[in-house]
Amino acid sequence: MWRMDFDPATRRLCVQLKEHVSTAHLRELADAHTLALEATGGQAFKVFLDLRGLFPLEPDAVVLLGAIKRLASQMRGWAGTAVLADSATVAMQQNRTRICEQTDVGLELVSLSSDQVERFLAS
């Protein structure tokens, strides 16, 4: 199951994935994600991936979610991506699909700490 919304006031695109998410669900998410990125209008925005409650993804789904994250990073106005997980396995999967191995720490965060993610998104 997934949910996504863009808050123009905070310039934050929030993507929430919970429980079991298949590759087919992520393809649907990718289409919606593209439309949401267009809604940013090129203004500065950050992406928040809330993966709390998500079961580890299948290998194809991990690759697809990595592609979704990279697409956002290529958009004009992208100011960073934060991933919050409550599972070490899910966090490990997200670390393996970092946008770029050399991504500036100030632009990409994968964490198990909601406080750390909130500070990242507020900065």
Q: What is the pLDDT of residues 5-24, one digit of tens each?
A: 888 888 899 999 999 999 99
Q: At what angle do helices 23-39 and 59-73 cross, to 10 degrees?
A: 10
Domains and CATH numbers, the chain: 2-122 (3.30.750.24)
Does the pLDDT at position 88 exceed 90?
yes
Please tell me the distance from the alpha carbon of residue 24 to that of residue 68, in angstroms, as a whole number: 14
Tokens representing 31 are 């289409």
Task: Give the residue from 28, 31, 39 showing the smallest Cα distance to 5.
Answer: 39
Q: What is the pLDDT of residues 108-122, one digit of tens each?
A: 999 999 999 999 999
Q: What is the pLDDT of residues 63-82, one digit of tens each?
A: 999 999 998 998 889 999 99
Name the pLDDT band for 104 (thresholds 50, 70, 90): low
